[in-house]
Structure 1
Amino acid sequence: MNVGLVLPYLKAGGTERQARYIARHLQASGHQVTFIVSEATGAFAGEVQAETISLDLPFRKATAPAFVFRLVRTVRDRQFDVLLSRAWNTNMVTAIAGLLSRTPYVLFLSGPTERRQQSRIRLAIEGFLLRRASKIISVSSAARKNCIRAYDLPQSLIQVIHNGIRIDEIQTQADKSSDDVARIPSGVFSVAFVGRINHRKGLDILLRSLSQLRRSRDGGQSDSSSEIHAWVVGGGDPQPYRAMVEEFGLEGQVHFLGEKENPFPVMHRSDVFVLPSRSEGFPNVLLEAMALGRPVLAADCETGPNEIIDGDNGRLFPVEDHDALADLLLEMRENPAIAEELGQRARDTVRKNFGLQSQLSKIRRVVESAATSV
């Protein structure tokens, strides 16, 4: 089976990491896999163990027609048996390319798929393309329900296969030495945030919770021994958040580390992991933190976290509620035994329910079926 896997870039994100896992599994099963990307840039560019074809175009609305043209030409030239896509916008162009080249395609829903704000024309076009997929794989049950409702799709078209992770690989990466870890002081309660630095990921909510704790501590008197430090790992534009740090008087407490191919040493060294997102698909990074035995605090956004966290293996707080997050951070800091127990249960949850191999086997069967459906 000759598989084309379409991605916009090769950044160090959950979507790209899952795509690498899928490619490796398909290759180990005797199939040929080729990555097709808009631009061969990003932290994973040198890590992909498969041929990569770059279409040499920035992935933007203005370049979409040229992107589709180049993608169709590539698909025809390489005679792929099936196409895969793991991001919403690439799902649409992959579907168009699949239809024009008469190549079966499998699409992944890795986001929340809330489409109520879209125009009727756009919904009609997207529904047409989705309905003609060989199969759609949703990483969460809520995203599947959203998609079926938004596009009136047959329920049999969408199958839920949660993301899985390689626990052994994550632990090995976490044990590596890191200059960033050397900066984390002992005896100070540390919080890890790992994700794209943008509005959706909710870093501002974490900063507001730290500001709330700072204002309430000792009647406003500074006490460095009770400070909570945040270690921020991720790409994007940090400048608006640096301005918030200055406004809230959090200098020295919030540390921007930039995008990291290996964020796991920082996650492992931190006392707690926070995911304050306003929306998610199925947050891979949450599973990774849990696999490392970290207590996790996550916003109860529409899809993803509440399919992982049950209260005994982590804590959920209302979306955008920085006061509730502040209370949970205080609980974790003041009750290390509770935090440790949550971390242990989190690790057990991932080992029991989110092992990578079983999830990849399900995906492989879907892809193989799609490739032979024509």
Structure 2
Amino acid sequence: MTTDALGRDRRVLLQEEDVQGIRTYRFPNLSSRLAWDRQLFLPSGTWRFLKKHRKEFDLIHLHMYRTLQDILVHRLAARYGTPYVFAARGSLLRIVRQARTKALFDALFGNHLLRDARRLIALSKTEKGHYESMGVPSDKVSVVFNGIDADRFQNLPARGALARELGLEDRQIVAYLGRLNPRKGLDLLLHAFAEVHRRNRDVVLVFAGPDEGCQRRLESLAGTLAVKDSVA
């Protein structure tokens, strides 16, 4: 189960399909812009689906923290005794935007969600520490690293191929590879880059990754910091 958000102004058209042998259901968000810009996912029909199919679930694997889905699944699990495991995937900390709202969510819903999960999954030892800082016993958290398909990295392009493609052969490149998500702290990277750029005009900053609600803000900030022509 997921939502149909594919971008700020894009949606996945298929609401039901098999993805690598797994039946996948997508529920329409009330607003893709809220989902993308504010990480506020409001999928219509989720609770009806959960109630209708509740007896088919032996175990629920829940992803991401502080979402409407968290509240609905916790409510379902409490009512029908369905066990669930939870993976935060970097969403536990309150340091990125709306810290007070997040603290309120934790007090009303989040702490109960973590307490009642059969198992909590961390992507790293650092994230395990985040769980522990929220009062979760260490022995309730399992560290499961992201898998990597090593075969994809056996035949890499020649060194410098991307720089040539972007016309940056003679420039020094600072590269960010990953999701353009507010919780990544990319505004801090831009501010730091601007400081470096004032001393070295040959350096450029390259962002490479899918936009998850902050590309426009980064573009605007780059303009404000007078480094827009040195950011790609």
TM-score when normalising by structure 2: 0.67
How far did 1:87 drift?
1.2
Paired residue for 1:80, among 57, 82, 88?
57
- Residues 116-265 of structure 1: matches in 2 within 5 Å? 117=100, 118-119=103-104, 122-123=106-107, 125-150=109-134, 152-171=135-154, 175=157, 182-217=165-200, 227-233=202-208, 234-235=210-211, 236-255=213-232
User: Following the alignment from structure 2 to structure 1, what is the Cα–Cα distance between the partners of residues 177 and 62?
Assistant: 24
1:136 partner SS = strand
Paired residue for 1:41, among 12, 15, 21?
12
Question: Residue 144 and residue 188 in structure 1: after superposition, are their counterparts in 2 closer, same or farther (change >3 A)?
Answer: same
How far did 1:108 drift?
0.9
- The one-letter amino acid of 1:242's match is E
1:252 partner SS = helix
- The one-letter amino acid of 2:216's match is Q
2:183 partner SS = coil
Paired residue for 2:89, among 110, 131, 138?
110
Question: Residue 98 and residue 9 in structure 1: after superposition, are their counterparts in 2 closer, same or farther (change >3 A)?
Answer: farther
User: Following the alignment from structure 2 to structure 1, what is the Cα–Cα distance between the partners of residues 41 and 166?
Assistant: 43
Aligned to 1:333: none
Same amino acid, percent of matched pairs: 19
User: Following the alignment from structure 2 to structure 1, what is the Cα–Cα distance between the partners of residues 203 and 57?
Assistant: 52
How far did 1:171 drift?
4.9
- The one-letter amino acid of 2:231's match is V
Question: Residue 175 and residue 75 in structure 1: after superposition, are their counterparts in 2 closer, same or farther (change >3 A)?
Answer: farther
Identify the range of structure 1 (58-67 vs 191-200) with the bigger mean alpha-carbon deviation. 58-67
1:215-250 Cα offsets, whole Å, 9 max, x none, are: 224xxxx6xxxx122222331343333233334333
1:115-139 Cα offsets, whole Å, 9 max, x none, are: 68513x8425333332222211122
- Residues 358-373 of structure 1: matches in 2 within 5 Å? none
TM-score when normalising by structure 1: 0.45
Gaps of 5+ in 1: 1-5, 13-38, 256-374
User: Following the alignment from structure 2 to structure 1, what is the Cα–Cα distance between the partners of residues 25 and 46?
Assistant: 13
1:281-313 Cα offsets, whole Å, 9 max, x none, are: xxxxxxxxxxxxxxxxxxxxxxxxxxxxxxxxx
Gaps of 5+ in 2: none
Report if aligned partners of 1:40, 1:54 keep a CA contact under 8 Å in 2: no
CA RMSD of aligned residues (A): 3.9
User: Following the alignment from structure 1 to structure 2, what is the Cα–Cα distance between the partners of residues 62 and 237?
Assistant: 16
1:165 partner SS = coil
How far did 1:107 drift?
0.9
Q: How many residues align?
A: 208
Higher RCO, 1 or 2 (CA under 8 Å, sep at least 6)? Answer: 1
Aligned to 2:48: 69
Question: Residue 198 and residue 161 in structure 1: after superposition, are their counterparts in 2 closer, same or farther (change >3 A)?
Answer: closer
- Residues 15-26 of structure 1: matches in 2 within 5 Å? none
